[in-house]
Structure 1
Amino acid sequence: MAEAVSDTVLRAHPRHPGALHYLIHAVDDPSSAARGLDAARVYGEVAPAAAHAQHMTSHIFIALGQWDDVVRANLRAYAANGPERVFGHGTQWLAYGLLQQGRVGEAQAWLDSMLTYQRDVAAGATPAVRGRADADAHAVLMTAAHVINAEAWDSPLARMRFDTTHLRSIDTRTAADFFVGYAAAQRARRPVDLTPGSREADRLLVDSLLERISARTARARAAGARAVPLGEAEAMERMLRAEQHAMANQPDSALALLRAAAEQWEALAFAYGPPGTVKPPRERAAEILLAVGRPAEALAELEQAEGMAPGRSLARLYRARALLALGRRDEAAREYRELAGVWQGADVTFPRREEARWGSTLLPAGNVDASVALDTVVYASGELALRGTLYRPRAAGRHPGLVVLHGSATCWSPSSADILGRLFAMQGYVTFFPCRRGMGLSAGEGLTIREQLQREGITPRDSAFGMRSNELLATTQLEDVRAAIAAIRARPDVDPSRVAVTGISYGGILTMLAAEADPTLRAAVAFAPAAMNWGWNAPLRDRLLADARRTRVPVLVLQAENDWHVGPTRELPAAVRAGGGEGTGKLYPAIGANVGDGHGLMVLTPELWREDVLEFLEQQMKARSRP
């Protein structure tokens, strides 16, 4: 009815501000928003000095996933306030749009302003234009959106606890706990503690927050809370319960809970703006499905998710990955190209931008470079048939070989392997990216460390957890690495006397262990080995230092200054030298603004270390093909 009335007025008065306003409100859901696009464009011109009018146009833009327009509209709205800077509804939408564009630093700045405003309002130092409850609510919603969309699990923001006394709505009070619990769940799923007992503390935090949310929603139901806020709160409760199952390595039960949360959310009357559940449940379901190798199901979830939260950048990234996994390369390339456009102004350290660039420029060609060939390799580790990806020069002859080891969470993503594989293969290296047992292309072949510990009944609460993890690292995991080295040496296009190993994080640890175990290697380049646990895992640190003193393979250790701990770069090369070997360490400038951002040095900024590593390998291996 509102749309029809507005249309009638606009036919007679095409620039009537009231009719434009009501038309936008009438159609600002994803299924109808296209009918309001012309009105949004006109309204922005009709009322340039009206802050609310400028913001209103973004109701249409956000429903269509048009992030450039969302950002521009809310910047205009903020400027239209004049000297009276108001933080709240429009600021929330602005920061959300910036997060979709990968402009995380700018979103953080707006969030900081919102939090300052909220604190000043609470202290009575600043008049609350719309009341304290409004300032508190938007501080919660902006923080929650920032942590979850930027995946800032280790940021102080992810541990921020809000006073919810003045929050009126059950969904906002729930969001204040949900994002903290969700971030804790992601930290708890790491294979190692960053500090002693950190994963167990995060598991307990998830449990306590879920108990609190559950009690609150039960009280709200009994009190007859409004359907939409209560439904969103209940959906978030289900989503956090799903994270409990994901932490326990129970993907199917986690998926069942996420789908139930999605169905509940989708059945509610549509609420415009950023997702009321903070994280769309089907988007999270797709993420889990991709991780367990079910891309077709992931794609189906993402298609349904578009109906509630169109054009979200993470959802589009997951869609591109699912299409790629299904062999639909042209469709994946189109998705990556569009994402590269969305992220063209992203932060330099934005981790997903390089994947989008890679997918948009390389996939349609079908090959990375005319001089480089790409193969999938099966190799034996004991009775296991493991797999990996190999990049090789097309030039005839025998080449030096390089084995590149992934971290603890997963095997190499297609984009990371491709970027590094091209880099080294174009310099003449046969470059092998093996997936260790139970991971990536080797899924189903053997057990990961996490799965093995679970089978043995050892939990992070047990005193034996750390010691047994270290033992598996130095046995089954190292066996897989040695098998990969043997496999590349056996290739007819590889000179077996010129093989080196490199790796990141957990792969950096294995690089150091392999260098000690196999003195016939020509070089070892370890990126951020044990950086996440150097400060507290004394048995692992002592083992690495002892091995380093026995290592006769030339070693290069590399980190960024804002890695979790830079002790490995300072101490491991010194230990190699103390034992009579050749050890070199180098620290690069910080990547990003946060501690831990630098841990991704190897994959985020190869331009920083490229010349150093290639020169080191050239010196140690004389990387020239032999006839």
Structure 2
Amino acid sequence: VAAPDAGHAQHMVSHIFYALADWKATEAANVRAAGVVNSQRIASGREATSCGHYNEWLAYSLLQQGKDASDLIKSCHSQAAASIRKFEEGGRSDTSVLQGTWSATRVANFLGVDGAEWIEPLELPAVPETFAARFQQEHGQLLKDRHDPVIVREKLNMLMQLRDERLQYAREQDPDREPEFPVWALRAIEQGNALLLLAEGKREQGLAKLEEAAAAELDLPIEFGPPPIFKPSYEILGEELLDYGRREEAVEAFGKSLQLAPGRWRSLAGQATTLR
């Protein structure tokens, strides 16, 4: 194996494997990468970690194979909870300890969306360093309860509030520059708007809005890694259409979901169901 002591070198080949939906090879590459990182952490006197970029890819690839990723994901989540306690007990002065919260909320959403097991949300402190983690966690909870209009509205409002807070913070940090909000976070809000219409029983409006959101996702450059939106809107659209008996339209929606996120087992399963 080339560059056996370089975790990033071990990981980078999995970008190719992801594009090919080769989950076994993706898993193996990130097992190696995470192993290198943890060996180096232990050698420097630090604890091993279940969080981080390589473990995120590992968790996603395990779930796409139908394997159990819950131990890895719950370990990351526990480490993030411990870092939050450390932050609070240390007088909330060292925000660097909160870095793992982004990773923990990300993989928790993977487990919920792709593994149908939702972890209790973290008690994330409201500091700038957790903007992304808080946004991800609220988005995950919206997806979890996407058929409940009260919860969807509450979580959607939280997403928009976090958007406004982050933009305001960015303006305060650099008054001479108009900030931009991350494009995929904006897509999550648009997905939430569509899901609220569906949860409220406004079927045709909701489906139209969801298709609009899905098309906008597909127009963005493809990222060769776990989907930047936790559940592609085309996948949700396919599931909704299938529930309404609109099988031909559902086939097309699942196919477009697989363009955005190759090899997703839920999109593949939905497609297989429509073709029976």
What TM-score, normalized to structure 1?
0.38
The answer to whether structure 1 residue 316 and structure 2 residue 268 are counterparts is yes
Distance 1:168 1:232, change over 3 A: farther
After superposition, the C-alpha distances for 1:524-560 in whole angstroms (9 at most, x for unaligned) are: xxxxxxxxxxxxxxxxxxxxxxxxxxxxxxxxxxxxx
For residues 178-577 of structure 1, the aligned pairs below 5 Å read 178-186=139-147, 188=148, 203-218=149-164, 220=166, 223=171, 224-226=178-180, 229=182, 231-324=183-276
Shift of 1:220: 4.9
| Contact 2:63/2:69 (8 A) holds in 1 | yes
Residue type matched to 1:107 in 2? A
Higher relative contact order by CA 8 Å / sep ≥ 6: 1 or 2? 2
- The aligned counterpart of 1:418 is none
Shift of 1:280: 0.6
In the alignment, the residues of structure 2 paired with residue 285 and residue 221 of structure 1 have an alpha-carbon distance, to the nearest angstrom, of 30
Shift of 1:149: 1.1
| Contact 2:237/2:250 (8 A) holds in 1 | yes
Alignment: residue pair count = 253
- What is the RMSD of the two structures over their aligned residues, measured on CA atoms? 2.5
Distance 1:173 1:268, change over 3 A: farther
What TM-score, normalized to structure 2?
0.81
Distance 1:59 1:169, change over 3 A: farther
In the alignment, the residues of structure 1 paired with residue 25 and residue 191 of structure 2 have an alpha-carbon distance, to the nearest angstrom, of 30
- The aligned counterpart of 1:71 is 27
The answer to whether structure 1 residue 118 and structure 2 residue 70 are counterparts is no
Distance 1:168 1:122, change over 3 A: closer
| Contact 1:232/1:276 (8 A) holds in 2 | yes
In the alignment, the residues of structure 2 paired with residue 72 and residue 239 of structure 1 have an alpha-carbon distance, to the nearest angstrom, of 33
Distance 1:298 1:226, change over 3 A: same
More helix by share: 2
Shift of 1:169: 7.8
Shift of 1:165: 3.2
- The aligned counterpart of 1:101 is 65
- The aligned counterpart of 2:56 is 92
After superposition, the C-alpha distances for 1:94-114 in whole angstroms (9 at most, x for unaligned) are: 1111111112xx311001111
The answer to whether structure 1 residue 142 and structure 2 residue 107 are counterparts is yes
- The aligned counterpart of 1:436 is none
After superposition, the C-alpha distances for 1:67-97 in whole angstroms (9 at most, x for unaligned) are: 1111111111122231352321111111111
Distance 1:232 1:115, change over 3 A: same
Distance 1:262 1:95, change over 3 A: same
- The aligned counterpart of 1:33 is none
Identity of aligned pairs, percent? Answer: 26
- The aligned counterpart of 2:116 is 151
| Contact 1:175/1:236 (8 A) holds in 2 | no
In the alignment, the residues of structure 1 paired with residue 128 and residue 266 of structure 2 have an alpha-carbon distance, to the nearest angstrom, of 29
Shift of 1:49: 2.9
Residue type matched to 1:217 in 2? R
After superposition, the C-alpha distances for 1:124-173 in whole angstroms (9 at most, x for unaligned) are: 49xxxx94343010011011111111223xx4x1x514415356586544
In the alignment, the residues of structure 1 paired with residue 100 and residue 146 of structure 2 have an alpha-carbon distance, to the nearest angstrom, of 28
Greater CA radius of gyration, 1 or 2? 1
Residue type matched to 2:61 in 1? G
- The aligned counterpart of 1:48 is 4
Shift of 1:269: 4.0
Distance 1:235 1:162, change over 3 A: farther
| Contact 1:162/1:176 (8 A) holds in 2 | no
Distance 1:167 1:85, change over 3 A: farther
More strand by share: 1
Q: Which secondary structure does the structure 2 equivalent of 1:85 belong to? A: coil
Q: Which secondary structure does the structure 2 equivalent of 1:122 belong to? A: helix
Distance 1:169 1:304, change over 3 A: farther
Residue type matched to 1:140 in 2? T
Q: Give the one of 48, 58, 61 matched to 2:14.
A: 58
Q: Which secondary structure does the structure 2 equivalent of 1:78 belong to? A: helix
**Gap regions ≥5 residues in structure 1:** 1-44, 189-202, 325-627
| Contact 2:59/2:69 (8 A) holds in 1 | yes
- The aligned counterpart of 1:20 is none
